[in-house]
Structure 1
Amino acid sequence: MTFADFPRIAVDPAICGGRPIVAGTRVRVSDVLEMLAAGTAPDEIVRDFPYLAHDDIRATLGYAAMMAGHPVVLAAE
């Protein structure tokens, strides 16, 4: 299943335990985000993973931004 706003992001219970991935790959959104957070340049990611495109990297960032925009409910202590 892909998302209407993020056609480059997919979720399939049979792939990577149902975690969001770059559509058509087994690369998890979290893998791309971790590489970016570690300082890896998008050009380097695309070079190391030639089946990814710069648009895929932008899609992971957009998806992460959307997910981070959801309210967080904390249990009362």
Structure 2
Amino acid sequence: MDIKQIVTIDSDILGGQPVFSGTRVPIESLFDHLEAGVSLDEFLDDFPTVSKEQAIALLEVASKITSSKNIAELYEAAA
């Protein structure tokens, strides 16, 4: 999934905070929920405008970014 199908940054939506594309749900909210012990399915129930595919794709990108050992891989992960 292309990063543009996952994340949108638009100054007219929540002041430019990164949100799931096609929604007003901040990306940060997924990580806050997971950190609090909320399951992915519960998060998706709370935010039905976010697709499971978007959430999983975001977690995959985050995983690549946090495990990357060089900058080229970092940029590739976000592409």
Q: TM-score, normalized by length of structure 2?
A: 0.67
- 8 Å CA contact retained: 1:33, 1:61: no
Q: Distance in 2 between matches of 1:14 and 1:53?
A: 22
Structure 1: state its 5+ residue gaps.
Answer: 72-77
Give the corresponding residue for 2:9. Answer: 11
Q: TM-score, normalized by length of structure 1?
A: 0.68
Q: Equivalences for 1:37-56 in 2 at 5 Å?
A: 37-56=35-54
CA RMSD after TM alignment: 2.2
CA spacing shift, 1:18–1:31, aligned 2, 3 Å: same
Q: How many residues get paired?
A: 68
Query: Higher helix fraction: Structure 1 or Structure 2?
Result: 2
Query: Higher strand fraction: Structure 1 or Structure 2?
Result: 1
Larger Rg: 1
Q: Distance in 2 between matches of 1:63 and 1:27?
A: 18
Residues 28-62 of structure 1: CA distance to partner in whole angstroms, max 9, x if unpaired? 11111111111110111112222222112123324
Identity %: 31
- 8 Å CA contact retained: 2:25, 2:47: no
Structure 2: state its 5+ residue gaps.
Answer: 72-79
